[in-house]
Structure 1
Amino acid sequence: MDCLFCKIVAGEIPARKLYEDDQVLAFHDIAPQAPLHILVIPKKHISTLLDLSAADTALAGHILFTAQRLAKDQGCAEGFRVVMNCNELGGQTVYHIHMHLMAKRQMTWPPG
């Protein structure tokens, strides 16, 4: 498999890791859109949100809980944004689900 995030999980590509457990890995985004921009990814390869199954329910919750814990640990209780993109029209560029945690600036909508 030629998946960028799977290669990061396997240690084949370096990343600035913030958190890791048996299910997820969190690291700094290489092209940050905010002063704090962390990606939380499952270690299990799942291409898009549409590929989640009922068996992945606990994993999906763990991704969200990890983002919440990292936001608190990074001093972002005053506010942050979490985003998951799905497929090309949704803005997904790496086909391995991941949650963006962005903070430390005013997060406006639409982004900019």
Structure 2
Amino acid sequence: MSDDCLFCKIIAGDVPGDMVLETDRVVAFRDIAPKAPVHVLVVPRTHVANVAQAAREVPDELAEMAQVAQRVADAECGGQFRLIFNTGSRAGQSVFHVHGHVIGGGELEWNPA
């Protein structure tokens, strides 16, 4: 846990979050600024900065994040979803605790530009 990390505070219950699913190692809660009908963040309880660090240091938790993402998508958007990880501020990461964005619900457009 990191004392100054928003997601660590949500995980600890010190900051409210709209929890969707919790396991021993992973939590999922709704994004406060959704970009799609379903926009849920999947976060490991262990504080690591990004997906590359998670792959190196907590690969089992990273795998469980993907499993939780599928469970959320199964319950909320017919099992079809995008799982997006932003790594670095220029890539859009604003909280430096690894998290996957489960995006779904309806027809999603793709605009990589």
Q: Which residue of 1 aligns with 2:98?
A: 97
Q: Which runs of 5+ in 2 are unaligned?
A: none
SS at match of 2:95: coil
Q: Following the alignment from structure 1 to structure 2, what is the Cα–Cα distance between the partners of residues 31 and 92? A: 14
Task: Give the 3-state SS of the residue equivalent to 1:52 in structure 2.
Answer: helix
Corresponding position of 2:40:
38
Residue in 2 aligned with 1:48?
50
Q: Distance in 1 between matches of 2:102 and 2:84?
A: 7
* 8 Å CA contact retained: 2:8, 2:47: yes
Distance 1:7 1:40 in 2: 15
- Name the amino acid aligned to 1:29: D
Show structure 1 runs of 4+ deviating over 6 A. Answer: none
- Counterpart-to-counterpart distance in 2, 1:75 and 1:34: 11
Deviation at 1:100, TM superposition (A): 0.4
Which TM-score applies when normalising by structure 2? 0.89
Q: Which moved more, 1:10-19 or 1:51-60?
A: 51-60
CA change 1:47–1:71 in 2 (3 A) is same
Q: Which residue of structure 2 lines up, in the alignment, with residue 22 of structure 1?
A: 24
2:103 partner amino acid: M
Aligned alpha-carbon RMSD (Å): 1.7
2-structure distance, mates of 1:72, 1:49:
23
Report the secondary structure of 2:58's partner residue. helix
2:105 counterpart letter in structure 1 = K
Matched length: 111
Query: Is the CA contact 2:82–2:104 (under 8 Å) kept in the aligned structure 1?
Result: yes
C-alpha distance after superposition, 1:49-80 (max 9, x if no partner) = 23235441111100001101111112423x32
Q: Secondary structure at the match of 2:72?
A: helix
Cα distance in structure 2, aligned partners of 1:28 and 1:71:
12
2:86 is aligned to 85
Aligned amino acid, residue 104 of structure 2: A
- Contact 2:38–2:77 (8 Å) recurs in 1: no
**Cα distance in 2 for residues equivalent to 1:82 and 1:52:** 15
